[in-house]
Amino acid sequence: MDYLFLLAGFVVLLAGGEILVRGATALALRFRISTLVVGVTVVSFGTSAPELVVSLKAALSGHPDISIGNIVGSNIANLALVLGVTAAIFHITVSKNSIRIDWPVMMVASLAFTGFIWDGALVRWEGAILLAAILAFVTWLIRKSRKENSKDSEQQKFMEEQSHASIPRIIIYITLGCVGLAFGAEWLVHGAIGIASAMGISEAVISLTVIAFGTSVPELATSIIALAKKESDISIGNLIGSNIFNILGILGITAMFTEISGFDPRILNYDIWVMLGISFIIVLFMISHQQIRRSEGIILVALYVGYIVTIAFDLI
């Protein structure tokens, strides 16, 4: 039965990713918001819905290892596995805004998160700061994008010509996409946990590997679909935006509901440093030639495989 949940989860996630990208692109054209901003906001929120459900449910039911490990593991998977696989297939052109704005915000959020949990807990006032930060960032980003697009008459004309989708249709696309991603990830994680638990693996390891991979599949599906549609801004914006939302939005919301404490010390001593290290490596790739090339994608995938191998050795 667990294997059926796993298979159904993958199928529904792929369908949800396709629908969400379609709705997100239409939304960008309709409201004169760049596809990069939509990738960082709407698409990132949709693909991070599984992490939100898993982390909140885990924290409320007294499983802090899953709550924190899911986010750290998912952020590692997004940048090393998902970005690596996507770049290895297509290679990704990087927007200047991704380098100048999105990556620095992601890095500051990651460092702030590290500082907050260094005492072994993420409390409500820290969650409130994280949540306020994501709201402020998204508001500023949308205003900045609309202001810049209004000055670009050619882009504005193109958007007006292409924005044929009605508002109700756009809402239906985005809603169905998000619902598909959420349910697909829920089934995938359910099946994965059942299989992994039968093998006697700890919650921390399950959350950092199986659950993190499962909840990162939406980002993988959405990024590949976006690049196939020549929407590279949505692809890179989705991944960086998802990491920003995972930390500021998901952990902010979760900590507002309940304090997260008592998680496995290995997350602080090892896994969070892997997350920060991968974040630093990708910016080196991004600024070198404003592309993440296939060879660099392969390097990122190799780093992720190496990370999983180190976890596997800890189980021996």
Segment (H or E) for 272: helix 272-289
Closest by CA position to 300, among listed 91, 84, 103: 84
Q: How confident is the model at residue 33 (pLDDT cuts 50, 70, 90)?
A: low
Give the lowest-confidence range in 212-216, 264-268, 302-306: 212-216
Q: How far apart are CA 186 and CA 189, in angstroms?
A: 5
Residue 183 tokens read as 């349910």
Per-residue pLDDT, averaged over 94-100, amounts to 81
Residue ranges and CATH numbers for the domains of the chain are 2-315 (1.20.1420.30)
Query: Which of 214, 211, 283, 249 lies closest to 42, judged by CA?
Result: 249
pLDDT beyond 80 at 298: yes
Q: In the block, which residue shows the tokens 């980002």? A: 219
Q: State pTM to two decimals.
A: 0.79
Compute the distance between CA of residue 231 and CA of residue 228 in angstroms, rounded to an integer: 7
Output DSSP code: residue 261: E
Average pLDDT of the segment spanning 13-20: 73
pLDDT for residue 150:
53
Residue 151: burial class (beta carbons within 10 Å; 0-12, 13-18, 19+): exposed
Which range (9-18, 29-38, 47-56) has the least confidence?
29-38
With a CB cutoff of 8 Å and minimum separation 6, the contacts of 285 are: 292, 293, 296
261/119 Cα distance (integer angstroms) = 9
Output the average pLDDT for the chain: 79
pLDDT over threshold 80, residue 129: yes
Average pLDDT over residues 212-231: 71
Residues near 298 by beta carbon (within 8 Å), at least 6 away in sequence:
84, 88
**Half-sphere exposure in the Cβ direction for 157 (13 Å, CA):** 3
- What is the spatial distance between Cα 21 and Cα 30, in angstroms, rounded to a whole number? 14
**45 compared with 179, residue with greater pLDDT:** 179
**SS3 state at 164:** coil
Q: pLDDT at position 160, please?
A: 46
pLDDT tens figures, 255-285: 998 889 888 888 899 999 999 999 999 999 8
Q: Look at residue 42 in the predicted model and tell me its pLDDT.
A: 67
What contacts 258, CB < 8 A, 6 or more positions away?
A: 59, 60
* 208 or 110, higher pLDDT: 110
Report which of residues 273 and 20 the model is more confident about: 273
Among 65-79, 113-127, 233-247, 250-264, the least confident range = 233-247
Amino acid 154: pLDDT: 43
Encoding tokens for residue 40? 């960082």
Task: Name the residue among 4, 89, 121, 107 with its Cα closest to residue 297.
Answer: 89
Provide, for the chain, the percentages of residues in helix, strand and coil under a 3-state DSSP scheme, each rounded to the nearest 5. 85, 5, 10
37-41, 144-148, 221-225, 226-230 — which one is most confidently predicted on average? 221-225
With contact defined as beta carbons under 8 Å apart, do 75 and 60 qualify? Answer: no
In which band, very low, low, confident or very high, does the pLDDT at 111 lie, cut at 50, 70 and 90?
very high
DSSP-based three-state secondary structure for 260: strand
Predicted pLDDT of residue 123:
93
- The per-residue pLDDT for 238 is 72
